[in-house]
Structure 1
Amino acid sequence: MKYLFYALFLSVGFLSLGQETIEKDSITVLQEVIVSDTLTAKNSIGIVPSQIIGAKIFQNHSPVDLVNSINQVSGVYTLSGALNTNRITIRGVGARTPFGTDKLRLYYNNIPVTNGTGFSTIEAFDLENLTSVEIIKGPKATGFGTNLGGAIVLNTKRIRNRSTRLTNNTTIGSYGLFKNSLGFTHSDDTFHLTLQYGHTEIDGYRENNRFERDGLLLNSNFKLSQKSELGLLINHIDYTAQIASSISQSAFDEDPTQAAFTWKSAQGFESNNYTLIGLTHHYTINSWLKNTTSLFYTYLDHYEPRPFNILDEYTNGYGFRTLFSGKRNLAKKELSYTLGGELYKDEYTWETLDNLYEENNGNGSLEGEQISDNKEFRRQFNGFATLTYPFSNAFSAQIGININKTKYDFRDLFNTGTGNKNAERNFDVLLLPSLDLNYRVSSNGNLYANISRGYSNPSLEETLTPDGLINPDIKQETGTNYELGLTLGNTQKKLKFNMAIYRMDIKNLLVAERVGDDQFIGRNVGKTKHQGLDLDLSYSIPPIVKINLTPFISYTFSDHSFVNFVDDDNDFSGNPLTGVPKHRLNSGIQANFGNGFYINTVFQFVDEIPLTDANSLSSDSFSILNTKMGYRTLLFKDLTLGINFGINNIANTRYARSVLINARSFGGREPRYFYPGNDRNYYGGLRLSYPL
């Protein structure tokens, strides 16, 4: 708790969520950027508030640590079991998912990359390729899927000035960390190109924890005419990650570096080969109508030997997204509108095989006989429209509608003839309206309100019965969000204050019940109530002897609970929602000394997390303190040099960075709830940038 008091003292009244880097006279300098809820969100979503994380936020952390950057946003919490095992929750939505991220929609340069059952893999994208991340909390984003958790839009780098530049950034650190990112950028009046290659490898803090990734990004834009622009995006990631898995309380207390016994014996790992190809066309039709249309293809080849079996799967996905937007005068006011839709289809093929690692003389996993062979065709369509009208100089309103249609078509290719389990699930059409109101209370402040409907699709496991059949009774989760918020900021953008209170009622709660080592079934069991407060506050202190100080604080209060949840003979109604900390705090201070030297210190407090629906067990609360310092200067005539050094977990706290809720005990063993966080660790980097 002493760190909590330190952070409160350090940061009461302040919050800064970032800065951006621009090139000026060949020297990298820092400029302030708004990193907060704004009522004019990017990506044509009208007055819906969203949260923007700038590139400098990423640079305040290790380049392999996207999680801490996202966790600096109130209302958003990422649990990270390893670099390849992340679960993003927004306002408690997605906290009950056993593995991975679902119930939100992920976009990469406005191209949907969430798969057909709603799962998103943010670790498929390199942090150093991003210039910003936009987060829309809750189902407010009519044009981005209206998922209950919300939407996250990843944006890649694009330089604005006319230049050609070669950049290399190398980072080394604890646990054998080595990361190198080599980039080439070119920009002129009609053409922009970014080509980035990155390699990352790290042995990891725990046993059986090595991670190695190679990635290539090509992002280009061609200006075809004054009205037309064509963009090509290719993102390829190839990584192999060993899996230490979760461990029990006894193992966590004894030695948090150990892997789960069976995963270590099987030398479990996952290998992923992922490619995204997108073609985007921007066209200005006339003065009051524009269109952006994207065509895309995704491919994922996934191979994962687990102690209980070996999973071999691949997914082919494709689709399009189109958005028309414009403005017209109506009754002497400017009416804004959007109209569009997106179609995502994928073909998911997977098989499982026996894992004979116990018969392989200690050499790890070995393929045995085939256990299953399946294929599923998944299709999801979202149509959307919004109208925004300013009734006065101070008051404006936006109405929106999203139409969702989802279909699963399952094929059992292993059991043929009378044992065939082919099945189809055609979900009902969902109409999801939203209403946003915005009132300017002063020249520097806005009050906003939102009422919106959202949904979440069941995962693949949740749609199947224990016998592998499509469950015809499973329903989509639906919910209604109510939100009231206030944003304040002076014209110099030194002070930023953002506060939101919300309540979201979700019915047809989906519960993934674990019935085996790798077997889950889904059931709709009740209702949940998500309510809480998000608070972000920042202040950039006027320079003192050329020193710029920016203290900050971000606080999340989550009062989430089961309203009606009866599981067999157990009534959990009224219990706090499993997997969500009630209080969370991020705070710290960034100092820029004006001579190229900077230092950033970030403190994080996470409250205890209920681990069972009965609330009979919780994880311990923890506090983490990280710091990073660096220096930038100009060498010779054009060569820019940047060096940095960072320390994570300064106090060497033992903590669980991720948890597995409602863990079951099999074979008389303890249930495995915990993914240990790293101990005190160090990293340092060298960045060189040269104009060509």
Structure 2
Amino acid sequence: MRRTFVSCYLLLSTLIALGQTPATQDSVTVLKEVLLLEELREKQTTGIVPSQIIGEKIFDNFSPIDAVSAINQIPGVYVLSGALNTNRITIRGIGARTLFGTDKLRMYYNEIPVTNGSGFSTLEAYDLENLSQVEVVKGPKATAFGTNLGGAILLSTKEALGNSSTFSNNTTIGSYGLFKNNLSVRHADKGLSVALNYDYLDTDGYRENNSFQRDGLLLNTNYRIDSKNKIGLLINYIDYTAQIPSSLGITAFNEDPTQAAFTWAASKGFEANKYTLVGIHYEHNFSPRLKNISSVFYTYLDHYEARPFGILDEFTNGFGFRSRFMGTALLGGMETEYSFGAELYKDEYNWEEYANLYADNNGEGSLQGDLFADNKEFRTQLNTFGSFTADLSEKLRLQLGLNVNNTQFDFRDLYNTGDSNQSADRKFRTIALPSVTLNYHFTNYQSVYANVSRGFSNPTVEETLTPAGVINPDIAQETGTNYEVGSQLFLLKNKLHLLLTLYQMDVRNLLVAERIGDDQFVGRNAGRTKHQGLEVAINYRWDLTSMMRITPFVNYTYNRHSFVDFVNGDDDFSGNPLTGVPKHRINSGLQIAFKDRLFWNTTHQYVSSIPLTDSNSLSSDPFHVFNTKWRYEQKLSSVFSLGVSLGINNLFNVRYAQSVLINTQAFGGAEPRYYYPGNNRNFYTGIRLRYTL
């Protein structure tokens, strides 16, 4: 029944698109502005390696605090969100077994790596309103941006363009006491470009113990010294405090999804974060055929988290450099492109754990008790990379890439002394990870590609430690090989855009989290998985009149992910579908634009059931969620413009799990807690004022 629904949905959408009136050649440009596209043309970031980009016009279709829904438009990418501060990004099933946070991919902010030394990336540290675009490379084929199994996510900030000065303020209010304000000042004049943003966000949240408050400051400035030299400074500062309602058991989820987990409510659990990123980059053009972009950067995270089972007090100092050369050359009369460079990231992770005496605090919540752990870890990761791109014929291009990774951890136990001290280090073997991409263009608007690439994932801090707190010498990196073919077609005078991707990724030394206590886990290598999938994106532009445009789209993801070899004690899960991954996902939508002033956008998300246990004995319920938004933009004068918007999320008030945990166990007679409830029907409205000189 489910397969029939998916097939009929895609067929109907395609037939509707094919039946519409053709249009002009400039439709390709307009489609790029309105809808999600995967582009197989050259990019500054990845050469001919395919990636997908969403930009400001996609972001405008959602609430300014809803980066999750915007990114979920990308086939093959699924963000599970338990709260604004509890997100987990999975790409083609990679990362689905990570219980908290995002790992197994590499994230960059204006080409500065912001993934920490243990492989975790934090989406909530970046305000959606400050981004110009998000580019996603799925699988380990980015080469210059790491070869993690999940891929790479490249965040780019807005910049001032041309010779102008712009002042913009966007205020949003909504359900759950939502108040958000983003103030932006951008200026460009001759060689100087400055963008300064201040963001404030405050919301009580849908659930008990669910408030979130954030202040953010972003400075991005560039100065062109002369025709060959350019220098820039990036500063991003985030200060947020978020309460943690945690996950619920099925009974609590069905009876009252607004409640927090009992122990998290009793302890009034929360986290407080102060995050700073400072980066300086320098660009030098040696000649019209060769340039270099280099950056040095520093990151600091001060994190305090009051959990029922212990209070975590930690800080991380990170620093590094990145240098990349890009050039072109004639080789045997053939025009070629090349790129090579290196990226070094080092950080020092310090963490202490204290007893939480909330049970003895007269209902006042968490109370810090005695210290029971004090640790430090030095983490180093070095990536060297290079790629070579050449035209094998007028229509066929080849790109070869190679990334060489070296990772090491140095763990220091500062709490235990003598024979009980657990200090140790771990150096993973140097690993070479190649990538080969072929791209054939039938015309400028029809192309096919094929890619084979190798990738890896490092274990996290928790996964490298045994239950006794010592580094596990047997834990190994996950490795995998990705095979991928795809095509993109612009049809019906470029009004219809069709994207199709097929892939298979074979992963060895699968890292799994084994629960040893209430919200406490350790990792181990447990076998092999096979990730097979189909990704389809269909976009169409239909101009009803010269003033009215309708733009439907359907993005479909089919996941056939399974354990190839997975034995856990006496249980053999080989052949079972991979835990934590839905088999089907559909993201569809319809945008109606009138005079390019009034926009009405409605989106739909369907997620099929998700296996919650390795035995596949329990699954989440499938769900459909609809969001809609109206937006009106009007120039009031030559320098002033006004924008107003109104949005409704979860239009039909569906009860659903927006995020799930896998393989949870019950402790103290309580139910296992698998579910993070999604928000009920909620509203928001915004007003944006802009002044441009």
TM-score category of the 2 structures, normalised to the smaller one: over 0.9
Amino acid at match of 2:438: L
Deviation at 1:152, TM superposition (A): 0.1
Q: Distance in 2 between matches of 1:553 and 1:422?
A: 52
* Other-structure match for 2:267: 266
Conservation of the 8 A alpha-carbon contact between 2:224 and 2:231: yes
Conservation of the 8 A alpha-carbon contact between 2:35 and 2:539: no
Conservation of the 8 A alpha-carbon contact between 1:4 and 1:605: no
Conservation of the 8 A alpha-carbon contact between 1:408 and 1:424: yes
Q: Distance in 2 between matches of 1:672 and 1:247?
A: 5
Superposed CA deviations along residues 451-510 of structure 1, whole A, max 9, x for unmatched, are 000000001111001110000000000000000000112597532211100000000001
Deviation at 1:596, TM superposition (A): 1.4
Q: Distance in 1 between matches of 2:596 and 2:391?
A: 46
Conservation of the 8 A alpha-carbon contact between 2:109 and 2:155: yes
Amino acid at match of 1:643: V
Conservation of the 8 A alpha-carbon contact between 1:444 and 1:491: no
Amino acid at match of 1:640: S
Higher mean C-alpha displacement, 606-615 vs 533-542: 533-542
Q: Distance in 1 between matches of 2:538 and 2:304?
A: 44
* Coordinate RMSD, CA, aligned: 1.8
Conservation of the 8 A alpha-carbon contact between 1:4 and 1:623: no
Size of the aligned set, in residue pairs, is 679
Conservation of the 8 A alpha-carbon contact between 1:13 and 1:552: no
* Other-structure match for 1:179: 180
1:550 matched to 2:551? The reply is yes
Deviation at 1:545, TM superposition (A): 5.0
1:111 matched to 2:129? The reply is no
Superposed CA deviations along residues 616-644 of structure 1, whole A, max 9, x for unmatched, are 00000000011000111122442100000
1:418 aligned counterpart, secondary structure: helix
2:124 aligned counterpart, secondary structure: helix
* Other-structure match for 1:325: 326
Amino acid at match of 1:107: Y
1:256 aligned counterpart, secondary structure: coil
Deviation at 1:136, TM superposition (A): 0.1
Matches within 5 A, 1:404-415: 404-415=405-416
Q: Distance in 1 between matches of 2:32 and 2:98?
A: 39
Conservation of the 8 A alpha-carbon contact between 1:7 and 1:587: no
Q: Distance in 1 between matches of 2:281 and 2:233?
A: 6
* Other-structure match for 1:22: none
Matches within 5 A, 1:148-297: 148-297=149-298
Conservation of the 8 A alpha-carbon contact between 2:36 and 2:73: no
Higher mean C-alpha displacement, 588-597 vs 75-84: 588-597
* Other-structure match for 2:58: 57
Deviation at 1:424, TM superposition (A): 0.3
Deviation at 1:60, TM superposition (A): 0.4
* Other-structure match for 2:640: 639
How much identity, in percent, do the aligned residues show? 58
Q: Distance in 1 between matches of 2:354 and 2:530?
A: 41
Conservation of the 8 A alpha-carbon contact between 1:3 and 1:623: no
Q: Distance in 2 between matches of 1:492 and 1:424?
A: 60
Deviation at 1:388, TM superposition (A): 0.7
Give unmatched runs, 5+ long, in structure 2: 18-29
* Other-structure match for 2:88: 87
2:176 aligned counterpart, secondary structure: helix
Conservation of the 8 A alpha-carbon contact between 2:642 and 2:690: yes
Matches within 5 A, 1:567-606: 567-594=568-595, 596-606=597-607
Deviation at 1:542, TM superposition (A): 2.5
Conservation of the 8 A alpha-carbon contact between 2:323 and 2:343: yes
Conservation of the 8 A alpha-carbon contact between 2:650 and 2:680: yes
Q: Distance in 2 between matches of 1:521 and 1:315?
A: 21
Conservation of the 8 A alpha-carbon contact between 1:14 and 1:538: no
* Other-structure match for 1:460: 461
Deviation at 1:12, TM superposition (A): 3.6
* Other-structure match for 2:417: 416
Pair 1:9–1:685, CA change in 2 (3 A): farther
1:142 aligned counterpart, secondary structure: coil
* Other-structure match for 1:515: 516
Conservation of the 8 A alpha-carbon contact between 2:55 and 2:133: yes
1:304 matched to 2:336? The reply is no
Amino acid at match of 1:585: I
Superposed CA deviations along residues 198-239 of structure 1, whole A, max 9, x for unmatched, are 000110000000000000000000001101110100000000
* Other-structure match for 1:649: 650
Amino acid at match of 2:453: S
Higher mean C-alpha displacement, 151-160 vs 589-598: 589-598
1:625 matched to 2:636? The reply is no
1:560 aligned counterpart, secondary structure: strand
Length-normalised TM-score, structure 1: 0.96
Matches within 5 A, 1:353-364: 353-364=354-365
Q: Distance in 1 between matches of 2:681 and 2:96?
A: 27
Conservation of the 8 A alpha-carbon contact between 1:320 and 1:343: yes
Q: Distance in 2 between matches of 1:164 and 1:556?
A: 42
Q: Distance in 2 between matches of 1:203 and 1:163?
A: 38
Conservation of the 8 A alpha-carbon contact between 2:34 and 2:58: no
Superposed CA deviations along residues 105-137 of structure 1, whole A, max 9, x for unmatched, are 000000000000100001100000000000000
1:253 aligned counterpart, secondary structure: helix
Q: Distance in 2 between matches of 1:398 and 1:135?
A: 18
* Other-structure match for 1:536: 537
Give unmatched runs, 5+ long, in structure 1: 16-28
Pair 1:31–1:344, CA change in 2 (3 A): closer
Conservation of the 8 A alpha-carbon contact between 1:348 and 1:376: yes
* Other-structure match for 2:378: 377
Pair 1:70–1:583, CA change in 2 (3 A): same
Amino acid at match of 2:686: G
Q: Distance in 2 between matches of 1:3 and 1:263?
A: 40
1:667 matched to 2:668? The reply is yes
Amino acid at match of 1:601: T
Deviation at 1:37, TM superposition (A): 1.5
Pair 1:3–1:178, CA change in 2 (3 A): farther
Higher mean C-alpha displacement, 637-646 vs 272-281: 637-646
Superposed CA deviations along residues 338-373 of structure 1, whole A, max 9, x for unmatched, are 001100000000000000001000000000000100
Q: Distance in 1 between matches of 2:504 and 2:5?
A: 31
* Other-structure match for 2:67: 66
Q: Distance in 1 between matches of 2:557 and 2:32?
A: 27
2:549 aligned counterpart, secondary structure: strand
Q: Distance in 2 between matches of 1:6 and 1:439?
A: 31
* Other-structure match for 1:26: none
Deviation at 1:417, TM superposition (A): 2.3
Deviation at 1:543, TM superposition (A): 4.1
Pair 1:101–1:475, CA change in 2 (3 A): same
Amino acid at match of 1:198: D
Deviation at 1:440, TM superposition (A): 1.2
Pair 1:9–1:588, CA change in 2 (3 A): farther
Conservation of the 8 A alpha-carbon contact between 1:143 and 1:385: yes
Conservation of the 8 A alpha-carbon contact between 2:36 and 2:74: no
Conservation of the 8 A alpha-carbon contact between 1:549 and 1:589: yes
2:87 aligned counterpart, secondary structure: strand
Pair 1:76–1:427, CA change in 2 (3 A): same
Pair 1:475–1:516, CA change in 2 (3 A): same
2:616 aligned counterpart, secondary structure: coil
2:628 aligned counterpart, secondary structure: strand
Deviation at 1:446, TM superposition (A): 0.8
Amino acid at match of 1:404: N
Amino acid at match of 1:600: N
Pair 1:378–1:13, CA change in 2 (3 A): farther
Q: Distance in 2 between matches of 1:339 and 1:559?
A: 35
Q: Distance in 2 between matches of 1:12 and 1:202?
A: 40
Deviation at 1:13, TM superposition (A): 5.5
* Other-structure match for 2:27: none
Pair 1:98–1:262, CA change in 2 (3 A): same
2:68 aligned counterpart, secondary structure: helix
Q: Distance in 2 between matches of 1:9 and 1:365?
A: 55
Length-normalised TM-score, structure 2: 0.96
Deviation at 1:139, TM superposition (A): 0.3
Q: Distance in 2 between matches of 1:285 and 1:40?
A: 25
2:463 aligned counterpart, secondary structure: helix
Q: Distance in 1 between matches of 2:558 and 2:151?
A: 18
